[in-house]
Structure 1
Amino acid sequence: MRTMWKGSINFGLVNIPINMYTATENKDISFRQLHKKCNTPIKYKKTCPNCNEEVKEEDIVKGYEYEPGHFVILKEEDFAAIQSDAQFKGIEIVDFVNLSEIDPIYFDKSYYLAPQENGGKAYHLLREVMNTSGRIAIAKITIRSKQSLAALRVYKNALVLETIFYPDEVRSIDHVPGIPQDVNLDKKEVDIATQLVDTLTAEFNPEKYTDEYRSALRNLIEQKVQGKEVHVAPEAEHKNVIDLMEALQQSLKETTKEKKKAATPRKRKTTAS
């Protein structure tokens, strides 16, 4: 696993040198865009429509469009001038809170933290204190010139840093159209829906969930690589249930049947001796 960032956790006067590693990876299957005529990968060029010429990397500057067609230009020295001392202190713990107080909508990316050569004892101390107190740390960290808010917590036997959005980065739910407010619900519908939830309730086991579309896409690509003919599977027939009560009852019936089927142990075949 490649180190993507080196720094330290600042916990009061305690300094814990750490290495940071990306905890997740994107498994999406990527495609190249090809010229339909000859299947050659397409190249993209940065051009200026005003000068009608290709622009080199050294001739590109950063501009903020403060109103349509009007830009203010920022140079590298401008960015350097506003960098605060906090940006060079690594992971600066500012508060300890309960994890339950943070809604999942705030979480962004996850990173594993491991101690450097001389940071093992302090790392273990912080991990132990957080485990004992049941709290997580709120910290600030700068990655690639961007200062982020972060949650530092214990995951299994390691410290994990989760970058989280600032409050002004989370859109207000008030801006979402069409959310029902006061709706009268039938008690029978609520009871059956509750039964359905109970029937579908299970312990969270991430290993049981797979990306079925990605698997099918990989299988399709492999078949094409091997020159096999690809057949389109017929669509499964779905009953269009409009009535809510009927939909709930049918869902409960099918879910209960599937659960009983899964719970029934398979009979082993016996061979005559």
Structure 2
Amino acid sequence: MRAIWKGSLSFGLVNVPVKLYSATEGHDVPLHQVHEKDGGRIHYERRCEVCNEVVQFRDIDKAYEEGGTRVMLTDDDLKTLPAERDREIEVVEFVPGDQVDPLMFDRSYYLEPDSTSPKSYVLLRRTLEATDRMAIVRFAMRQKTHLAALRVRDDVLVLQTLLWSDEVRDAEFDKLSASVKISEKELALSQQLVESFSGDFEPQDYVDDYQVQLRELIARKAESGTDVHEADVDDDAADDDTGGEVIDLMEALRRSVDRSRSSKKAGSTSTSASTASDDSDDSDNSKKTPAKKAAAKGSTSASKGSTPVKKAAAKKTPVKKAAAKKAPAARKSASASKAS
């Protein structure tokens, strides 16, 4: 894991240097938008509505709008705010855990001691365990002031950011205000049903069926070579926190592309040998070969085994060059057959 924030946790005169880590991560398969025609990635431009220029991210500021007035704020403006400069997690109070409504929980983070001795960290952890309390804290991160609950989980201090009170909506439903009569028999049967489904919650027993089926679908299409295109893998994708599963998936896709390319290349070699004496219609057909097919034939299969995805993408022959070289070759073979 990589720390996303560094600072200190303070309660009273005790100061605990800590690092902050994200405690959760998504498992969804990353799907990108591509062009239906050729599989190319879709990119969006940041365009100014006033001058119609494409704006680089470094030239973008923020602004607040109200009543037709727009107030621009630069990064330097935001850095002048005291909360932005503060690197301290301040304990405000200690409360019983059941007083914090789970509806208010937002994001979860792990706290790691960032000092040579974890004594102050362990002291706070044991204090929370002994008193069966939760610490309510405030801190600033990413240009926002956060309210959070600090608790213990498996000997680790966990920080869970909370929604502010005005961010939680009231549930106001007229239908629930009407009087509804429930008989004792209905209630008893309902309770009996609950008992029949009762058990202990084991998170690992539950699986995201949709993501499993999506991965199986991708694997089947990759294995069959259906709708499989070569894709350049940029550095950002290689360093993504989604990690091994995504890289393994890309490796499976790469091997499928290589296998598909090899079979197509073998088939095209035997076909061209048997039809080299045909008329110029064959030459016209070779000119009309789709770019996707030309790229598959023209690319070498130098990347095998455990070659990284990025290297395989870098060595592929450009589509245009492959197409340009194949057409003259076809004309040459056709003219040679006529001369003989």
> TM-score when scaled to structure 1?
0.77
The residue that corresponds to 1:32 in the other structure is: 32
Question: How far apart in 2 are the matches of 1:108 and 1:94?
Answer: 19
Q: Call closer, same or farther: CA 1:223–1:49 in 2, change over 3 Å.
A: same
Aligned to 1:4: 4
CA contact (8 A) 1:137 1:152 kept: yes
Deviation at 1:119, TM superposition (A): 4.3
Structure 2 gaps, min length 5: 227-340
The amino acid that maps onto 2:150 is L
**Residues 1:206 and 2:200 are matched in the alignment:** no
Higher strand share: 1
- Helix, strand or coil: the match of 2:200? coil
In the alignment, what sits opposite 2:132?
Answer: 134
1:101 alignment counterpart: 99
- Conservation of the 8 A alpha-carbon contact between 2:83 and 2:145: no
Match of 1:157 in 2: 155
The structure with higher relative contact order (CA 8 Å, sep 6+) is: 1
Distance verdict in 2 for CA 1:90–1:187, change over 3 Å: same
What residue is the counterpart of 2:311 in the other structure?
none
Deviation at 1:178, TM superposition (A): 4.8
Q: Decide which moves more: 198-207 or 128-137.
A: 198-207
Which protein has the larger Cα radius of gyration, Structure 1 or Structure 2? Answer: 2
- The separation in 2 between residues aligned to 1:94 and 1:133, in whole angstroms, is 16
Give the 5 Å matches for 1:76-225. Answer: 76-84=75-83, 88-174=86-172, 178-179=175-176, 181-225=178-222
Q: Is the 8 A contact 2:6 2:87 kept in 1?
A: no
Query: Which segment drifts farther, 47-56 or 189-198?
Result: 47-56
Could you tell me whether the CA contact under 8 Å between 2:150 and 2:158 is conserved in 1? yes
8 A Cα contact 2:83 2:140, kept in partner = no
Rounded Cα–Cα distance in structure 1 between residues aligned with 2:141 and 2:31: 29
* 1:170-215 Cα deviation digits (max 9, x unpaired): 11212x5654542112322211111111111111211111111111
Give the Cα separation in 1 of the matches to 2:114 and 2:186: 57
Per the alignment, do residues 99 and 73 of structure 1 end up closer, same or farther by CA in structure 2, a change over 3 Å counting? same
Does the aligned pair in 2 maintain the 1:3–1:20 contact within 8 Å? yes
Tell me how far apart the structure 1 counterparts of residues 175 and 223 of structure 2 sit (CA, whole Å): 49
Structure 1 residue matching 2:128: 3-state secondary structure: helix
Distance in 1 between residues matched to 2:41 and 2:174, nearest whole Å? 42
CA distance in 1, matches of 2:177, 2:205: 33
1:76 Cα shift?
2.9
Greater helix proportion: 2
Name stretches of at least 5 consecutive residues in structure 1 with no aligned partner: 230-273
What number of residue pairs does the alignment pair up? 226
